[in-house]
Amino acid sequence: MTASPWQRRTQRAEELIVQRPFAAEILGFYIHVARFQEESHRRLGRVLQTAGARFDSELGAAELEQLISRFESFLSLAESRGPQHLAQISRQLKTSGETVWRDLLNSAWLGHSASDAAQLLAAASLQPFGELVRSRASPHATQQTYAVCPYCHRKPGFGVLRQMGEGAARSLVCGFCLAEWDFRRIVCPGCGEGNERKLAVFSASDFDYIRVECCNTCKTYIKTVDLTKNGRAEPLVDELVSAPLDLWAAEHGYAKLKKNLLGM
């Protein structure tokens, strides 16, 4: 039986816990998140008609009824299994009630204040529904110098390099609905800078298959997982475990183009 995307990510996270003990806490939490998201995707696909849902409009009443219930369950998960700061925020949010949750989910759905910890929790809970909506939608036309998701219009969370002929082609992956689209290698996804002298690429021996692609014009960076060097990688999980590269980038004055759904 073919493994689902969430099962593949979970299996990869279990491998990396052994290889990268320093990341055991966050990977352990991610495994629970991935299982929750797979269950949500399956459940929401059965009970919700997503054809009317749009990324650029608020959630409908029927959708919110189901999503609020899932969000409450997700807060309980984050409270019991998440890192201390997420557990504390989840505990506080659980007492705030459905009116606050409704506003929070709508705001996260529309992509507002995505760097706020509460918004990130809401986005992580909504992500399976985002994939459902994307799977039944048509992509918008995109420009190669403007890196936004062709479905939900959010920034990419990471990049991927795959073998193409004698070289490698880059694609970007949405930080929310996980859509993937082709994007030129020598262009900054943050500002469209195409001058190679202003674009720097760094890597570390511990993560030689993950590139930190930095722009000295807008001072942002994105991490790209090179599958030509590591075919076992699951880009979403391997990007998550490479947090030491984020620390390096921050120390050198670069800001991440978009935080992942665990706030990293």
Give the global pTM.
Answer: 0.92
Q: Are the C-beta atoms of residues 11 and 3 closer than 8 Å to each other?
A: yes
How far apart are alpha carbons 238 and 33 in whole angstroms?
Answer: 15
Bridge partners (DSSP) listed for residue 160 = 171, 225
Identify the three-state secondary structure at position 203.
strand
Enter the tokens of residue 107.
């705001």
Cα-flanking dihedrals φ and ψ of residue 230, to 5°?
Answer: -145, 95
Q: Average model confidence (pLDDT) for the chain?
A: 91
Q: How far is CA 143 from CA 10, 63, 146, in A?
A: 33, 32, 5
The pair of structure tokens assigned to 128 is 């399976």
What tokens does 39 get?
């269950």
Tell me: the pLDDT tens digits for 148-195? 999 999 999 999 999 988 889 999 999 999 999 999 999 999 999 999
